[in-house]
Amino acid sequence: GRLADGASGRNAGFVLLGAPGADPGSPDASERVRAQRLWSFTRENVRAIRSLDARAFDLHWTGSVLAAGSEEEASMLRRQAAALPEVEWLDPDGLHRRIGGRGFHGGLFVGEGGVLHPAKLVRHLASLSGATVLERSRVLRLGTEAGGVVVSGREGELRAGRVALCLNAYLPQLLPELAGW
């Protein structure tokens, strides 16, 4: 198909710090390190996105909310609020006012968050990269040769130093050995 076609270009579109379940306030030291690495990675992602022309992919900085559906989740989010300077703990009433909802046990507001058009972002990044993007070109086989990659398809072969395959759910069709991943 086309670059960012199908579900890959329609889903999500969220620019978020951290990830649900990654707890930088965890009592477990290895989980804290893992979560801190994830938060650091997503901070760098936000910085990279901020450096781009937001109009090219309809970026709007709105902040984001993580809502606790249980008291256990609320406890984890409170620990995160204590560990992360960029988040704000919202008690249940404050969260409900912010989101216009009910039934949550509190949550976090993260100011560094937003929404964007994911297909437009991918196409914008491709245009900035200088890479040659071949759309609607079915890859039948991959191989290597000295100093590069050989990509074979119905239209012929392509030789390159590096290749990025954007396959999403189609990965097992080209590389069955990676189906479990």
Q: Report d(CA 166, CA 123) in Å as an integer.
A: 12
Greatest Cα pair distance in the chain: 63
Which residues touch 145 (CB under 8 Å, ≥6 apart)? 159
What's the pLDDT score for residue 107? 95
Q: Is residue 10 predicted with pLDDT exceeding 80?
A: no
Mean pLDDT, residues 21-45 taken together: 92
Q: What is the pTM of this model?
A: 0.78
Strand order in the sheet with 107-110: 64-67, 107-110, 87-90
Q: In the structure encoding, which two tokens stand for residue 63, read together?
A: 């902040």
Do residues 86 and 26 lie in contact, with contact meaning Cβ atoms separated by under 8 Å? no
- The larger pLDDT score, comparing residue 18 to residue 69, is at 69
To the nearest whole percent, how much of the chain has pLDDT over 70?
A: 99
Q: Is residue 167 predicted with pLDDT exceeding 80?
A: no
User: In 84-163, which ranges are continuous DSSP H helix?
Assistant: 92-99, 118-129
Mean pLDDT, residues 27-45 taken together: 94
pLDDT in tens, 104-159: 999 999 999 999 999 999 999 999 998 888 888 888 888 999 889 999 988 899 89
Mean pLDDT, residues 53-74 taken together: 95
Q: Is residue 28 predicted with pLDDT exceeding 80?
A: yes
**Contacts from 140-149 at CB under 8 Å and sequence distance 24+?**
140/174, 142/174, 142/175
Q: Is residue 7 predicted with pLDDT exceeding 80?
A: no
What's the pLDDT score for residue 174? 84
Residues β-bridged to residue 144: 149
Do residues 20 and 129 lie in contact, with contact meaning Cβ atoms separated by under 8 Å? no
Q: Which of 42, 41, 142, 27 is nearest to 83 (CA)?
A: 27
What's the pLDDT score for residue 47? 94
Q: Is residue 78 predicted with pLDDT exceeding 90?
A: yes
Mean residue pLDDT across the chain: 90
Q: In the structure encoding, which two tokens stand for residue 5, read together?
A: 């076609």
